[in-house]
Amino acid sequence: MKLAVLDGDRAVVVIDSVVYDVTDQLPTRAGRHGGPWLPWLEEGGTVEQLQQLDLSSCPQQPLDDVQLKAPLSRPGKIVAAPVNYLDHKVEMSEQKTIAEYGVFLKANTSVIGPGEQIKLPYTDKRTDQEGELAIVIGRKARHIGVDEALDYVFGYTGVLDITVRSTEDRSTRKSFDTFTPLGPWIVTSDEVGNADCLSLQCWVDGDLRQDTNTSELIFDVAALVAYASSVMTLHPGDVIATGTPAGVGPLQDGSPVRLTIENIGTLEVTATADKAIAYADRPGARQEVRILQDG
């Protein structure tokens, strides 16, 4: 089943090309920032509950007539996997992989949804797209084993891990507002099937940049969930970005970005350089130079 969100924090289910508004059938209401599905997951929402919804009584619209929002507008946390494909390790001349780096966190305020804009922060620093499969956690998890990890996965979605190529820590370079496009919806794990064998493609400006299969992941889905749970407690609605394959590259003002993942769907956004500034003009940069000169 596909879970999506419309304006006004309306919770919807998408079947074929029809959108069913199930907001009034959910026992929870949208939280202040997280949208309608986050509190539902936090209260123990399950696929079995979704299957009991009476869709015939729900308001319906054609999918083509609506604009979807981020399925989780403010996840509890966004955990991300660096260097989790060997071809990306080679591409970036990395000496280590996720096995040595571990995971990192992205700000949950960086999430945007389908049709929204990635705001490029700097005019003179490269900002790249990174297309990835994202895991949505369905149950509280701490110190779980690989063999049980998939039982804690509610579903999957697409994510673009937008990244500035500068000298700051990963979390900083990837946490700018708008740097985590998420969507187009959450697909429940039963409908996705084997998440370790999904084709993934990402286009920028109409050019195919990334073309891989999740079978190439270094830490597969179960290993990644288990590892993350050994570091921190995972809660329902948390998102884990599984890492990007080779093919990352710079975004330009107006660049359309399209991510398609097998059995999940297509996420489309655009980039804008409106209000981008020179890297040297970022807050704190000039003061640092002045202190060094005066010292």
Is the model's pLDDT at 33 over the cut of 80? no
Residues 177 and 49 placed together within one structural domain of the fold: no
Residues 50 and 173 placed together within one structural domain of the fold: no
The confidence band for 295, taking pLDDT boundaries of 50, 70 and 90, is very low
Residues 61 and 82 placed together within one structural domain of the fold: no
Residues 121 and 238 placed together within one structural domain of the fold: yes
pLDDT value at residue 286? 56
Percent of the chain with pLDDT over 90: 89
Asked if residue 95 is part of any domain, the answer here is yes
Report the candidate in 59, 64, 74 with the shortest Cα–Cα distance to residue 237: 74
Is the model's pLDDT at 222 over the cut of 60? yes
The neighbouring-strand residues paired with 258 are 203, 268
- Phi, psi dihedral angles at 281 (to 5 degrees): -90, 5
Asked if residue 295 is part of any domain, the answer here is no
- Give the tens place of pLDDT for each residue, 259-289: 999 999 999 999 999 999 999 999 985 555 4
Is the model's pLDDT at 30 over the cut of 60? yes
Q: What is the mean pLDDT of residues 65-84?
A: 97
Residues 124 and 43 placed together within one structural domain of the fold: no
183 token code pair? 């969507």
CA angle centred on 195, ends 204 and 14, rounded to 5° = 75
Asked if residue 294 is part of any domain, the answer here is no
Q: How many CB atoms lie within 10 A of CB 40?
A: 25
d(CA 183, CA 221): 18
Number of domains in the chain: 2
Report the candidate in 119, 142, 129 with the shortest Cα–Cα distance to residue 250: 129
Residues 24 and 108 placed together within one structural domain of the fold: no
User: Cα-atom radius of gyration of the chain, to the nearest Å?
Assistant: 19
Look up the domain containing 175 and give its range. Answer: 78-280
- Give the tens place of pLDDT for each residue, 160-216: 999 999 999 999 999 999 999 999 999 999 999 999 999 999 999 999 999 999 999
SS3 of the chain: CEEEEECCCEEEEEECCEEEECHHHCCCCCCCCCCCHHHHHHCCCCHHHHHCCCHHHCCEEEHHHCCCECCCCCCCCEEECCCCEHHHHHHCCCCCCHHHHCCEEECHHHEECCCCEEECCECCCCEEECEEEEEEECCCECCCCHHHHHHHEEEEEEEECCEECCCCCHHHHCCCCCCEEEEEEEEEHHHHCCCCCCEEEEEECCEEEEEEEHHHECCCHHHHHHHHHHHCCECCCCEEECCCCCCCEECCCCCEEEEEECCCEEEEEEEECCCCECHHHCCCHHHHHHHHHHC
Q: What is the mean pLDDT of residues 91-104?
A: 90
Residues 126 and 232 placed together within one structural domain of the fold: yes
- Give the tens place of pLDDT for each residue, 108-135: 999 999 999 999 999 999 999 999 999 9
Residues 57 and 103 placed together within one structural domain of the fold: no
